[in-house]
Amino acid sequence: MTTSTSSKKILVNDCTLRDGMHALGHQYSVEQMVAVARKLDEAKVDIVEVSHGDGLQGNSFNYGFSAHTEREYIEAVRAELKYARLAALLLPGIGTRADIDEAKAMGVDTIRVATHCTEADVARQHIEHGRKLGLDTVGFLMMAHMTPTAELVRQAKLMESYGAHCVYVTDSAGALLMEETREKVGALREALECQVGFHNHNNLGLGVANTIVAIEAGADRVDGSVAGMGAGAGNCPLEVLIAVCERTGIATGLELYPLIDCADQIVRPLQRRPVQTDGNALMLGYAGVYSSFLLHTERAAERFGVDPRDILVELGRRGMVGGQEDMILDVAMELKSR
Amino acid sequence: MTTSTSSKKILVNDCTLRDGMHALGHQYSVEQMVAVARKLDEAKVDIVEVSHGDGLQGNSFNYGFSAHTEREYIEAVRAELKYARLAALLLPGIGTRADIDEAKAMGVDTIRVATHCTEADVARQHIEHGRKLGLDTVGFLMMAHMTPTAELVRQAKLMESYGAHCVYVTDSAGALLMEETREKVGALREALECQVGFHNHNNLGLGVANTIVAIEAGADRVDGSVAGMGAGAGNCPLEVLIAVCERTGIATGLELYPLIDCADQIVRPLQRRPVQTDGNALMLGYAGVYSSFLLHTERAAERFGVDPRDILVELGRRGMVGGQEDMILDVAMELKSR
């Protein structure tokens, strides 16, 4: 299966400094970001993403205040990158087109516009705007496990029609099984002219496997984070992915040892809460819940004295998606009063 | 692919109290073993394995002394199990037939006889003896990535001919890719009348994925450890595997929550060194080195002031296998003097 993919260079997008913000409650210091960015650039990562975990303007009461402003983070990392392109994430409704203008002015090359997997239409103006500005423009269909493949393809075609250079199957809950990943990525690859991407979380321990499956199914870009640094059980751990790609004969062009050094010496020591598939992170994947709900849920569980697993199962049952973070407290309160 | 396997009940063998010994330098207390065994039994694990990490009589200078005798561990766990069968591991040359007699007398139900993947013939007398004693008798072909599939099948047929009820593809280095797992397990399933098993390590982050692939390819028994507690990056994490099996429709009969509680509350707090796919553990899979060499290698690297990754790459290049632990120091010394 790998022979068909072995000649294509896969683009690698690192999320350590964006999705990884979730794992730290958005508290990276600028120096920490710079140290990570230096190693990523040395490892020849194609694209380095920097934003609040919930994208540009996520720095807020509802999504959590970050230690520094977006400008401070982005400008510091921009100055560090010699090889890699710089990306930022934007969730329409949290960020606006004006934020894309500002991102471009700060030297961002790639804008990634993320919506729930059935709401591509709200990304229209942002994707069109990114294209107009000459940015590498990506559409991100989040919580992709929640919608049938045919509908996901329809949504992806909308994003392509707005001008996206690449549309992602985004497994925000880390809930996709391998066959589901193969089916969804393969269907997008078949239906689209533009690139297809894949982003996931390790909540079911399938982070690396599903990314390999996605590449086999035709993905052109894949995401990972050093030491998995991301929401929930973390993203696909980038250094592990690159080792497996090397053994599999998938061409990425990335260098393994700087990534391992970055994971062991810089990123893992920063993790206040180990980023791993422990019980609550596993339950995200099992219940199909947005990975960035993990820390919110653990705080709510402690505050109301309820089992975080029960909160997660209930959030999954109700089909809660990103933007409904305030419902976590409501669910915890309800469970408490039962 | 999963529909064909969904009706078959998969037998689950837990290795937390055997392979997990490696992760603790063989220092479980009896009370810790009992606490884990109680949860495994509550979760309806089919088979619970208890032995020194390197099998019966591994308690020695070369393989590391354990905190208690085998008898103390086995008898304490035996008294705790109401549902699960009790297994012990034996590596011919470390343990002997007399140890199988003794294991049976202590209430062991399953004897697992492990050899390097090209040395099934040294297991003949032990497998025959296990059968003669009426034990559930398993052959374990270790470092399965090191030999071509046709030769692995030939070795497995030898173990079957000696009387094994089940023969394992054992990925001791955590080095198998998914297609390799599918090929090897599928070939054994095709060639043998007896059961086929699969045991692996998470060194390439594929612990859960490869176990699912093995089940799809026809495995009848699979191994896992709670929180992955095992050598190297650990075994397939059992609680994660069971969650994925449930979502996939694979019947195991195991209960998820007692496994999660055991992982979060009992096993992970015991880990002095987190059992995870960090740099050195990743290098085991990348270089194809026996997982239980990890701690030996880290100690040798520190003693001689060399990069543990360089030792692991050299051990892989030389094709070192279990039993050659003394070569680790030699390699470290050589690298130091270069």
Cα distance between residue A208 and residue A212, in whole Å: 6
Residue B165 annotated as part of some ligand binding site:
no
Residue A180 located in a structural domain: yes
Contact B69, B59 (CB under 8 A): yes
Cα distance between residue B221 and residue A190, in whole Å: 37
| Mean pLDDT taken over chain A | 95
Confidence of residue A61 (pLDDT cuts 50, 70, 90): confident
Contact B176, B210 (CB under 8 A): yes
Encoded tokens for B37: 């065994």
pLDDT reported for residue A3: 40
B281 touches chain A (CB under 8 A): no
pLDDT reported for residue A6: 52
CA A98 to chain centre: 22
Which residue from A minimizes the CA distance to B226? A278
Residue B275 located in a structural domain: no
**pLDDT tops 80 at residue A44:** yes
Confidence of residue A8 (pLDDT cuts 50, 70, 90): confident
Q: CA–CA distance from A311 to each of A303, A324, B192, B261 (Å)?
A: 12, 14, 46, 16
B276 touches chain A (CB under 8 A): yes
CB contact under 8 A, B240 and A276: no
The beta strands (E) that lie in chain A are given as: 11-14, 47-49, 85-90, 110-116, 136-142, 166-171, 195-200, 221-224
**pLDDT tops 50 at residue A105:** yes
| Residue A259 sits in the same domain as residue A163 | yes
pLDDT reported for residue B6: 52
Length of chain A: 338
| Residue B304 sits in the same domain as residue B173 | no
Where is the domain boundary, A236, A254, A269? Answer: A269
Residue A144 located in a structural domain: yes
| Residue A296 sits in the same domain as residue A237 | no
Largest CA distance in chain A: 58
Angle, helix B149-162 to helix B178-191, in steps of 10 degrees: 40
Picking from A2, A175, A278, the nearest residue to B268 by CB comes out as A278
Which residue from A minimizes the CA distance to B277? A240
Enumerate the residues of chain A whose CB falls inside 8 A of the CB of residue B246: 286
pLDDT reported for residue A2: 39
Cα distance between residue A215 and residue A181, in whole Å: 10
Least confident of A135-149, A317-331, B40-54, B209-223: A317-331
Residue B306 located in a structural domain: yes
Residue B121 annotated as part of some ligand binding site:
no
Tell me which residue range forms the domain holding A329: 292-337
* B223 φ, ψ (degrees, to nearest 5): -105, 155
pLDDT reported for residue A62: 83
What CATH number has the domain bearing residue B315?
1.10.8.60
Residue B273 annotated as part of some ligand binding site:
no
β-pair type (A85-90, A136-142): unpaired
| pLDDT tens digits, one per residue of A187-212 | 999 999 999 999 999 999 999 999 99
Enumerate the residues of chain A whose CB falls inside 8 A of the CB of residue B237: 205, 277
| Residue A228 sits in the same domain as residue A298 | no
| Residue A164 sits in the same domain as residue A231 | yes
The ipTM is 0.95
Encoded tokens for B42: 């509550």
B310 touches chain A (CB under 8 A): no
Contact B67, B53 (CB under 8 A): no
Residue B287 located in a structural domain: no
| Residue A208 sits in the same domain as residue A301 | no
Contact B225, B200 (CB under 8 A): no
Identify the CA nearest to A38 among candidates A27, A48, A25, A28: A48
Residue B129 annotated as part of some ligand binding site:
no
What's the N-to-C CA distance of chain B in angstroms? 51
pLDDT reported for residue B130: 98
| Residue A153 sits in the same domain as residue A237 | yes
| Residue A212 sits in the same domain as residue A304 | no
B240 touches chain A (CB under 8 A): yes
| Residue B187 sits in the same domain as residue B327 | no
* Residue B291 CB partners (closer than 8 Å, separation 6+): B22, B172, B173, B174, B201, B203, B230, B231, B232, B233, B281, B284
Encoded tokens for B77: 């766990």
Q: Residue A121: in which H helix or E strand, if any?
A: none
CA A60 to chain centre: 19
Contact A139, A120 (CB under 8 A): yes
What CATH number has the domain bearing residue A52?
3.20.20.70
Contact B214, B183 (CB under 8 A): no
Number of independent structural domains in chain B: 2
pLDDT reported for residue A28: 97
Residue A283 located in a structural domain: no
A22 annotated active-site:
yes
SS (H, E, C) B40-99: HHHCCCCEEECCCCCCCCCCECCCECCCCCHHHHHHHHHHHCCCCEEEEEECECCECHHH
A3 touches chain B (CB under 8 A): no
**pLDDT tops 70 at residue A1:** no
pLDDT reported for residue B61: 85
CA B5 to chain centre: 23
CB contact under 8 A, B244 and A208: no
| Residue B41 sits in the same domain as residue B188 | yes
- pLDDT tens track of chain B, all 338 residues? 344 445 789 999 999 999 999 999 999 999 999 999 999 999 999 999 999 999 999 999 888 899 999 999 999 999 999 999 999 999 999 999 999 999 999 999 999 999 999 999 999 999 999 999 999 999 999 999 999 999 999 999 999 999 999 999 999 999 999 999 999 999 999 999 999 999 999 999 999 999 999 999 999 999 999 999 999 999 999 999 999 999 999 999 999 999 999 999 999 999 988 999 999 999 999 999 999 999 999 999 999 999 999 999 999 999 998 888 889 999 999 999 98
Question: Coil, strand or helix: which one is A66?
Answer: coil
Cα angle: B317, vertex B319, B325; to 5 degrees: 110
pLDDT reported for residue B133: 98
In single-letter form, the type of residue at position B212 comes to: I
Cα distance between residue B178 and residue B250, in whole Å: 18
B277 touches chain A (CB under 8 A): yes
**Dihedral sign, CA of A251, A256, A260, A266?**
negative
Cα distance between residue B324 and residue A31, in whole Å: 44
Residue B102 located in a structural domain: yes
Question: Coil, strand or helix: which one is B325?
Answer: coil
Average pLDDT rounded to a whole number, residues A79-84: 98
Least Cα separation, residue A201 to chain B (angstroms): 13
Q: Residue B148: in which H helix or E strand, if any?
A: none
Neighbours of B338 (CB within 10 A): 6
Residue A280 located in a structural domain: no
| Residue A323 sits in the same domain as residue A210 | no
* Residue A62 CB partners (closer than 8 Å, separation 6+): A325, A326
| Residue B24 sits in the same domain as residue B73 | yes
Least confident of A5-9, A35-39, A217-221, B160-164: A5-9
